[in-house]
Amino acid sequence: MLRDLGLAWRRLRKSPGFASAAVGALALGVGVSTAVFSIVDGVLLKPLPFPEPERLVMMTREGDVSIPDGKDWRPAAPSFESMALFLRSWTLDLTGDGEPVRVAASVVEPEYFRVLTAAPQLGRPLRDEDDQPGAPHVAVLSHAFWQRRFGGDRGVLGRSLTLSDEPATIVGVMGPDFDFFGDDVDLWMAPAAATPFFVHERGSNNFDAIGRLKAGVPLARAQAEMMAVSRALEAQYPRSNRGKLVVPIAATEFLTGSVRPVLLALLAAVLVVVVVSGANLASLLLARSAARRDEFAVRLALGAGRRRLLNQILAEGLVLALLGGGLGLFCAWASLDALLALAPADLPRQDAVVLDARVFAFGASASLLLGLVFSLVPALQVIGSDPGLFLKGAGKGVRPAEHRALGLIVVAEVALAFVLLAGGGVLLQSFRELSGVALGFEPRGTLGGELSLPRSRYGEDREKQTRTIAALVDEARALPGVTAAAYAIAAPLDRRGGLGGTVLFQTPPPARPVPQTGARVRLLHGDYFGLMQTKIVAGRNFTPDDRAGSEPVAIVNERFARTYWGTQSPLGARVAYRDFHDGTPFSMTIVGVVEDVRGITLGAPDFRTIFTPYEQRRVNWQAWGNVLVRTEGDPSQLRRALQEAVWRVDPQLPLARTYTMAGRVEEHSARERFSALLVLLFAGVGLVVAVQGVYAVLAFLLEERRRELGVRLALGARASDLARLVAGQGALLAATGVVLGFPLAVLSAWAMTEVLYGVAWTDPGSYAGAAVLLFAIALTASAIPAWRAARLDPVRALRLD
Amino acid sequence: MISLRNVEKSYDLGGGKVYVLRRISLDIKEGDFVSIMGPSGAGKSTLLHILGLHDSAWTGEFDFVGAPVHKLGRKERLDLQRKHVGFVFQSYHLLDDLTVYENIEVPLTYRDVKKSERQAIVADVLDRFQIVGKKDLYPNQLSGGQQQLVGIARALVASPKVILADEPTGNLHSDQGREIMELFKKLNDEGTTIVQVTHSETNASYGSRVIRLKDGWMA
Ligand SMILES: Nc1ncnc2c1ncn2[C@@H]1O[C@H](COP(=O)(O)OP(=O)(O)OP(=O)(O)O)[C@@H](O)[C@H]1O
Ligand SMILES: [Mg+2]
């Protein structure tokens, strides 16, 4: 076999054109598929980095969970070995030690560490006594934060941090894998320390819950138990728990469920590319074996065993697989970072995406499979044929079976390229629709920053809070280049979209019966609508006269107005609003209606929303909000200046993060962009392979038909007749491919319906565009063989006699 | 009709020029039946391809039906060929994936003959060659003699002024060869100019004239 490999290597070196085309085809297929497989594997297939991850279960229900609910679940759910509530991200200000920064805390019940079965890298995890009322505050640091803030200093244990003006002691540091939600958690604290006000609030549904099933207990049993306890709680606490039914699902599914369809579609696309490039390899090998038919025939006639010939062909396939696979793996390695850079930031588990042994094994087996399986196609032809036929047929006539095989391969390639192109087109269209959606606000030129007035220093002091916010907005407004500034609790495209609660109608709305009464309240200071360029469609904007003590007013969004007042005007109507925190309703008069904005996602309109002036707010604990400025220049240049403006008002107040609205809009379409780009990338690859295939087959057929074309010339054919004959073959291949690919393309676009926005899976433009592009490309690929046919020298062609 | 003056053809081989045809001057009149003879390698096929307007890599002067071939470009040369020449190959060169009928039709498709006319002409030719019964067969279903009959039928379906045939009976039994020669004689009697390459004196005897070549020279 080794000798065969050596021979194969020498033979390949003698035909560098064929060898590089074949290696290129293989490398393309292996490279692209390996790169994408590494992503799919890291995100979807790899188990979570905890012992027995299949026993980990997330509780899902409409809205999150409150701590009292969670405490009631435990005794009712014996299927679970352990269960813990956790708040994925809660922000605290870290002060006193360098620049004040906002840190992301994950608020977790100590049992969280037992559920995940993860030991800290340093020190200890949280313990049950840390979650007792009045217990000293302790924090466990994330590996990343420990590195970033403390340079990985092992002496941090026992150090004290000032977190939102309260001291907390560092007791442990977790390993790098622990933050598996990818939330960039800085530290973990117990609810009693970080969010004591949530501990007894059954309505404060802010927590997620994760559990570990007892060994061998089926998920279904846990589901039944959780259903029973949710029904019991619903009966006991109808106000807060109506319809709150809990469904435990596997943790991996919870984590990756949202990207699963997209990634699986990608994986399917990968398989398509593998098949396409394999087919191309086969067509090249077939063409080559046809060109070497005489050699094979002579060898067979000289008594060479079929086995030896077979070995030779397979050895060549193996050498090609090694070369192409190696090159492909290298390309995958080289392109992975670029690919991940395109990925949306919220693609879960990105850290798990690495070129490890699993991925390497995938790439290696893909190339071996490709190289060997597809070289079997021509090998079987050699084996199955009779040397006499070979010799008789040498250099003459057509072998229909072979041509049919080659034609089928190219048709399949074109069909698959069509599927990818059409699918990519539909996805791209969807992305463009999503990025072009009417937002209801102008993102360009807008910079925002999040801040939170700490209870320790601001407490319930409304006066001080109002003064600070007003001063902040004034400082921001005074920055050079800034044309407007405002403060808003919840800016657009933030999933933490303001306070939720129930609306009571003091002026009965015309809608009968009154539909759902849930709505969001968003507090504003300054000319927020002017800054966002959100149109006031009826009534008036807030003015500085709408202040504490004056008549409480509200502006509602169009969706709110339409839901309750239909086509009538809600202006002047009185509504009251009651949130879960404070039972007394708070009433106000509607003075304006604003257009709807894309408040939560780009794909859906905002909640029904009531805007009220910050100065007239009812609830005091809503300390979190956004400072917003509009500038004439590049808003991102203003980040530092905005933070410094805040520090001029309160030197200890950090801006948690600053963001441009334009950037936020982009983030919200990042996933769509990523999938469109990736599928189009595949389509490009498929296209290249299809072109290679069309070219290879036509060039091969041209060789085969040289004599025929010479005869045709002698019979009076014009050069253009011959060119048309060859190009026509290319067009026929393309047409057949498109026709066969069409139903597949429609089917796969239909399967993507769920991820499409603003474009139907039937989008005619995408299919037509793909077909036209393929035709153009197929004709281009035919150009060189067609030109060669037109230039054919009849004397030489006929001398092939 | 055909007039060559000092036509020469050479190949550039590694060592230098190798002449295949030297100073060929000849005239062929309309209605002639000429046989080109000579030993193997003498340059007979080469000369026939020049006469058939396939080849352009030669020097000298060549007038064909009044046109100076030595001054024509590829396209005009091929146009002239299409108009006047029918070619018969030694090894038939039928197109394997076309039926007898389609093979005969091919030259007409390159001469912008309407489909209905084509049908009439091909039917007529099939009839004349008494191969109507074979019209739907493929070449590999025919004997060598039958294939060459189709080859000749194809060469004259477009009514060329000249038929050039390179050893048309080379691969045939002698009685099949005689049949072909009778056919050529008949065509020639009807006015078609015929130039054939042949090794056989018998075949040459059907013609009116013999041109002998040896090592590229006319003897
Ligand atoms: N491409 C080429 N390069 C070099 N020499 C060539 C080439 N083609 C033909 N020749 C030479 O030209 C000479 C004439 O060839 P040609 O085919 O015309 O001979 P011929 O008289 O038809 O012989 P035959 O009776 O065997 O068919 C030969 O010596 C041949 O070797
Ligand atoms: Mg010859």
Q: State the average pLDDT over residues A574-579.
A: 80
Query: Who has greater pLDDT, A587 or A263?
Result: A587
Note the maximum CA span of chain B: 56
Q: State the average pLDDT over residues A471-484.
A: 94
Q: What is the pLDDT of residues A95-104, one digit of tens each?
A: 876 677 778 8
**Is A610 within 8 Å of A521 (Cβ atoms)?**
yes
What pLDDT sits at residue A513?
67
Q: Which of A55-64, A507-516, A544-553 has the lowest mean pLDDT?
A: A507-516
What pLDDT sits at residue A97?
67
Extract the runs of DSSP E, i.e. beta strands, from chain B.
2-13, 16-28, 33-37, 59-64, 67-68, 85-88, 162-166, 193-197, 209-214, 217-218
Q: State the average pLDDT over residues A519-544.
A: 92
* B205 Cα to the center of ligand 2, angstroms: 19
Profile chain B (219 residues) by mean pLDDT over runs of 10 residues. Answer: 94 85 94 94 92 91 94 90 91 88 93 92 92 92 90 92 91 84 92 94 93 91
Q: What pairs with residue A575 in β-bridges? A: A505, A588
Question: DSSP 3-state assignment of A86?
Answer: strand
Residues in B touching A708 (Cβ below 8 Å): 95
Among B163, B161, B146, B172, which Cα is nearest to B207's?
A: B163
* Predicted confidence band of residue A387 (pLDDT cuts 50, 70, 90): very low
Question: DSSP 3-state assignment of A355?
Answer: coil
CA–CA separation, A42 vs A252, rounded Å? 12
Which candidate from B49, B75, B107 shows the least CB-CB separation from A795? B49
The upper half-sphere exposure of residue A687, i.e. CA atoms within 13 Å in the direction of its Cβ, equals 20
Q: What pairs with residue A139 in β-bridges? A: A170
A420 Cα distance to chain centroid: 19
Beta-carbon contacts of residue A436 (< 8 Å; ≥ 6 apart): none
Give chain A's end-to-end CA distance (angstroms, integer): 38
Residues in A touching B110 (Cβ below 8 Å): 712, 715-718, 721
Q: State the average pLDDT over residues A269-296.
A: 73
* Predicted confidence band of residue A384 (pLDDT cuts 50, 70, 90): low
Question: DSSP 3-state assignment of A313?
Answer: helix
What pLDDT sits at residue A353?
72
User: Which residue out of B110, B138, B167 would a mutagenesis test of the A interface target, given it has the greatest number of A Cβ atoms within 10 Å?
Assistant: B110
Produce one character per residue of A707-725: b if its CB has 16 or more CB atoms within 10 Å, e if not: bbbbbbbbbbbbbebbbbb
Among A497, A518, A505, A498, which Cα is nearest to A585's?
A: A505
CA–CA separation, B120 vs B122, rounded Å? 6
Extract the runs of DSSP E, i.e. beta strands, from A96-177.
101-108, 122-123, 138-141, 160-163, 166-173
Q: State the average pLDDT over residues A278-296.
A: 71
Contact residues of ligand 1, CB 6 A cut-off: B 11, 20, 38, 40-46
Q: State the average pLDDT over residues A763-785.
A: 88
Query: Who has greater pLDDT, A454 or A537?
Result: A537
Query: Who has greater pLDDT, A355 or A427?
Result: A427
* A398 Cα to the center of ligand 1, angstroms: 27
Q: State the average pLDDT over residues A516-522.
A: 78
> Contact A716/B107, CB-based, under 8 Å?
yes
What pLDDT sits at residue A495?
66
- Please provide the average confidence, as pLDDT, over all residues in chain A: 83
Q: State the average pLDDT over residues A485-512.
A: 78
What pLDDT sits at residue A488?
92
Among A516, A232, A747, A720, which Cα is nearest to B78's?
A: A720
* Predicted confidence band of residue A780 (pLDDT cuts 50, 70, 90): confident
Q: Which of A70-74, A499-503, A646-650 has the lowest mean pLDDT?
A: A499-503
What pLDDT sits at residue A397?
40
Question: DSSP 3-state assignment of A397?
Answer: coil
Distance from CA of A371 to the nearest CA of B (A): 33
What pLDDT sits at residue B67?
93
Q: Which of A484-498, A630-644, B68-82, B192-206 has the lowest mean pLDDT?
A: A484-498
> Contact B110/A798, CB-based, under 8 Å?
no
Strand order of the β-sheet with B16-28 is B16-28, B2-13, B59-64, B67-68
Cα angle A121, A123, A127 (rounded to 5 degrees) comes to 110
> Contact A801/B90, CB-based, under 8 Å?
yes
Distance from CA of B197 to the nearest CA of A (A): 16
Q: State the average pLDDT over residues A619-623.
A: 62
What pLDDT sits at residue A445?
92
Question: DSSP 3-state assignment of A168?
Answer: strand
What pLDDT sits at residue A761?
84
User: pLDDT above 90 covers what percent of chain A?
Assistant: 23
- The number of the ligand 1 atom at minimal distance from the alpha carbon of B216 is 14
Distance from CA of B66 to the nearest CA of A (A): 19
| Residue B79, token pair as written in the block | 């146009």
| Residue A786, token pair as written in the block | 């067609």
* B40 Cα to the center of ligand 2, angstroms: 7
CA–CA separation, B202 vs A156, rounded Å? 114
Among A35, A38, A12, A37, which Cα is nearest to A23's?
A: A12
What pLDDT sits at residue B105?
93
Q: Which of A172-186, A548-562, B65-79, B150-164 has the lowest mean pLDDT?
A: A172-186
Produce one character per residue of A311-324: b if its CB has 16 or more CB atoms within 10 Å, e if not: bbbbbbbbbbbbbb
pTM of the predicted protein model: 0.66
**CA-derived radius of gyration, chain A:** 34
Question: DSSP 3-state assignment of A518?
Answer: strand
- Residue A27 phi/psi, 5° resolution? -60, -40
**Is A793 within 8 Å of A709 (Cβ atoms)?**
no
* Predicted confidence band of residue A345 (pLDDT cuts 50, 70, 90): low
Query: Who has greater pLDDT, A496 or A793?
Result: A793
Pocket residue to mutate for ligand 1, from B36, B46, B58, B211, most atoms within 8 A of Cβ: B46
Q: Give me the interface pTM, i.e. the ipTM.
A: 0.91
Q: What is the pLDDT of residues A190-236, one digit of tens each?
A: 998 888 888 888 777 788 889 999 988 999 999 999 999 989 888 88
A447 Cα distance to chain centroid: 25
Which candidate from A708, A719, A794 shows the least CB-CB separation from B95? A708
Q: State the average pLDDT over residues A604-625.
A: 80
| Segments in A385-399 forming alpha helices (H) | 387-393
DSSP string, A146-166: HHHHHTT-GGGTT-EEEETTE
What pLDDT sits at residue A399?
57
What pLDDT sits at residue A393?
41
